[in-house]
A and B are shown apart, each in its own frame.
Chain A
Amino acid sequence: MIIPRVPVQHRRLLPDRRLSGPTPWVIAILMLLTLLAAAAGVGLARSANAIGTAIAGRVTVQIVTANPVTRAEQAAALRRAAAGQAFVRSARAVEPAELRATLGQWFGGEEGGDGDPVLNALPLPALVDIDFVGEDRAGPMRQLRALVAREAPGARIIPHAEWLEPVARLIRSLAWVAGALVLLMIAASAAVVIMTARAALGTHYATIEMLHMIGATDRQIARLFQRRIAIDTAYGIALGSAVAAAILLLIGWEWSGVTAGLAATASLGPWGWALLLALPLLAIALAALTARQTLLAALKKIL
């Protein structure tokens, strides 16, 4: 049992000084940081996976033919030909206005409007976005090259994985770092519990000695302290979890407005929320188990 059942009369053997020591507060802070790190880890890992899935089978064909009319015809022909292929899920020609709008963010144009003389003067390539069917990339890539050579000779094929994969790898690395932080903070929490248990034994040594002398077993004594430490720890975990939940809900609310770019791929998902809900319960169980083992090991050293 996580919090052992101890008769009320036995509980009085330890003076009632709940939340008076630093343990619940330290545990609360560690729990808060653990949950935030876990949420960050889950969010980043899901984001990396979403990016990986999204970019694995996507390419952009860049047509740079000098004549704008020929360029537009090649783009349209390539889009039509690609859309009819079995290995292609979707093919979309990127509108020139969309291209100008994107470039406008960097060149300071008026929303990329047609009236911008700088953007209008730029020789923009025609782009065709193509998504492959399935996860195999080598076969579709070979067929696409043949198609591009026929419909738009000289066009360049850019697989998205080439430039987005390093970003996904970085996000994955950050997720691992977050996971390592969670483990470190769990270890730190266990260390706090061990120190608390040892301090409690030191503080109440006279009572423990007396209990031994009147025939109390190690298990009886350990249960008393285990219960007290588990309850104190549970208070800290509850406090830390409540603050973490408030922060995560606030971030979630702010995040809900982000709909574009990589940020839009970050979310916790049902399993992430389940993990965050399970972590406090696991922490209480770990604290109780750590306290019990520490107490029994220390009591064994006393005759």
Chain B
Amino acid sequence: MTPSPRPGGAMVEFNGVGLRYGPDAEVLSDINFNLQPGSFYFLTGASGAGKTSLLKMLYLAQRPSRGLIRLFGEDLVTMPRHRLPGFRRRIGVVFQDFRLIPHLSARDNIALPLRIAGVGEEDLAGPVGEMLSWIGLGERAEAFPPTLSGGEQQRVAIARAVIARPQLLVADEPTGNVDPEMAGRLLGLFEALNRLGTTVVVATHDIHLISRIENAQMMRLEKGRLSDPTGALRYPPNRS
């Protein structure tokens, strides 16, 4: 049975988390926060502050050097490796550099998480078609990533991240490679998903973006330490 966060409990808990690569000094120190189900979070900070490292721990690409991380109510630090794929299927990830598979069409890139999860081809066509329409690329379904614009590639990456209806969506600088108009449209996609109940975490250093989402909460990383300028992490708003 797939574990879920207990009612009223946090979806993600970071408690005294530190991260170091090799023998070097910690890139993240004493990270403490809880993410509530259905909330929208921005993670900000200057380049090199540790945003990507924090997100890597959030989407299970990196284990912490110390501290406790609980995801969906389970301790991730001691979780055996073979259980991680099941948890990863509940998390959608959008990368700044898209990471689309270049020799797969837009349709096949979007369908990938469902295929990996074992969904049959007959059950794929509907959701993938809907998703292509939702991101406005219905007519470019068979196009390969190198032939798509940056904005189109980013939309395909977002569609791939959300096609399996993840409970948590993590996006690392999703608007870093697109113009302001496209950035607004992409943010609109995230907001729509959030309204459907997905917890969204977006790392960005674009302060204008943050102001466009109502009720969004902000975490700020400075030199590997987390600050909570809005106090929202300590007193999360009740969205129910």
Which residue numbers of A lie inside 8 Å of B, CB to CB? 7, 9-10, 12-13, 15, 206-207, 209-218, 220, 300, 303
Residues of A within 8 A of B81 (CB): 300, 303
Is the Cβ of A7 less than 8 Å from the Cβ of B93?
no
Task: State whether the Cβ of B146 lies closer than 8 Å to any Cβ in chain A.
Answer: no
Task: State whether the Cβ of B12 lies closer than 8 Å to any Cβ in chain A.
Answer: no
Is the Cβ of B86 less than 8 Å from the Cβ of A215?
yes
Residues of A within 8 A of B61 (CB): 209, 212-213, 303
Interface contacts beyond A15-B103, A214-B88: sample of 10 additional A-B pairs, CB < 8 Å, sorted by A: A209-B61, A211-B116, A212-B85, A212-B88, A213-B61, A214-B93, A214-B160, A215-B117, A216-B85, A303-B62
Mask, B76-104, CB within 8 Å of A = 1, is 00000110111011000100000101011
Task: State whether the Cβ of B63 lies closer than 8 Å to any Cβ in chain A.
Answer: yes
Task: State whether the Cβ of B152 lies closer than 8 Å to any Cβ in chain A.
Answer: no
Is the Cβ of A13 less than 8 Å from the Cβ of B113?
no
Is the Cβ of A303 less than 8 Å from the Cβ of B84?
yes
Is the Cβ of B99 less than 8 Å from the Cβ of A216?
no
Partner of A210, one of B84, B101, B115: B101
Task: State whether the Cβ of B111 lies closer than 8 Å to any Cβ in chain A.
Answer: yes
Residues of A within 8 A of B93 (CB): 213-214
Interface size class of B (residues with CB under 8 A): 20 to 34
Given contacts A216-B85, A303-B61, contact A12 B113 (CB under 8 A): no
Chain B residues 28 to 77 lying within 8 A of chain A, measured CB to CB, are 59-63
Residues of B within 8 A of A9 (CB): 108, 111, 115, 121
Residues of A within 8 A of B103 (CB): 12, 15
Question: Once bound together, how far apart are the Cα atoms of A151 and B99, in whole Å?
Answer: 98
Is the Cβ of B116 less than 8 Å from the Cβ of A215?
yes
Residues of B within 8 A of A216 (CB): 85, 116
Residue of B whose beta carbon sits closest to that of A221: B116
Which 10 A-B pairs rank lowest in CB-CB distance, beginning with the nearest?
Answer: A215-B89, A215-B88, A214-B113, A215-B85, A15-B103, A216-B116, A217-B85, A210-B99, A213-B93, A214-B116
Given contacts A213-B93, A214-B113, A215-B113, contact A13 B88 (CB under 8 A): no
Is the Cβ of A213 less than 8 Å from the Cβ of B89?
no
Partner of B99, one of A7, A206, A218, A303: A206
Residues of B within 8 A of A211 (CB): 112, 116
Residues of A within 8 A of B88 (CB): 212-215
Which residue numbers of B lie inside 8 Å of A, CB to CB? 59-63, 81-82, 84-86, 88-89, 93, 99, 101, 103-104, 108, 111-113, 115-117, 121, 160, 164
Residues of A within 8 A of B116 (CB): 211, 214-216, 220
Would you mind naming 19 contact pairs between A and B with Cβ atoms under 8 Å apart? A9-B121, A12-B108, A207-B101, A209-B61, A209-B99, A210-B99, A210-B101, A211-B112, A212-B61, A212-B85, A214-B89, A214-B113, A214-B116, A215-B88, A216-B116, A220-B116, A303-B62, A303-B63, A303-B84
Partner of B104, one of A7, A13, A212, A217: A13
Residue of A whose beta carbon sits closest to that of B115: A9
Question: Once bound together, how far apart are the Cα atoms of A215 and B99, in whole Å?
Answer: 15
Q: Which secondary structure dominates where chain A touches chain B?
A: helix
Closest-CB distance, A150 to chain B (whole angstroms): 86
Residue of B whose beta carbon sits closest to that of A216: B116
- Greatest chain A CB density within 10 A among B85, B89, B93, B164 is at B85
Residues of B within 8 A of A303 (CB): 60-63, 81, 84
Is the Cβ of B101 less than 8 Å from the Cβ of A13?
yes
Is the Cβ of A213 less than 8 Å from the Cβ of B59?
yes
Residue of A whose beta carbon sits closest to that of B114: A214
Closest-CB distance, A85 to chain B (whole angstroms): 77
Residues of B within 8 A of A300 (CB): 81
Residue of B whose beta carbon sits closest to that of A206: B99
Question: Once bound together, how far apart are the Cα atoms of A182 and B48, in whole Å?
Answer: 56
Closest-CB distance, A165 to chain B (whole angstroms): 61
Question: Once bound together, how far apart are the Cα atoms of A213 and B116, in whole Å?
Answer: 11
Residues of A within 8 A of B86 (CB): 215
Closest-CB distance, A139 to chain B (whole angstroms): 70
Question: Once bound together, how far apart are the Cα atoms of A13 and B116, in whole Å?
Answer: 11
Question: Once bound together, how far apart are the Cα atoms of A10 and B121, in whole Å?
Answer: 11
Residues of B within 8 A of A10 (CB): 115
Residue of A whose beta carbon sits closest to that of B92: A214
Residues of A within 8 A of B117 (CB): 215
Question: Once bound together, how far apart are the Cα atoms of A7 and B111, in whole Å?
Answer: 14
Residues of B within 8 A of A214 (CB): 88-89, 93, 112-113, 116, 160, 164
Residue of B whose beta carbon sits closest to that of A300: B81
Closest-CB distance, B160 to chain A (whole angstroms): 8
Question: Once bound together, how far apart are the Cα atoms of A9 and B104, in whole Å?
Answer: 10
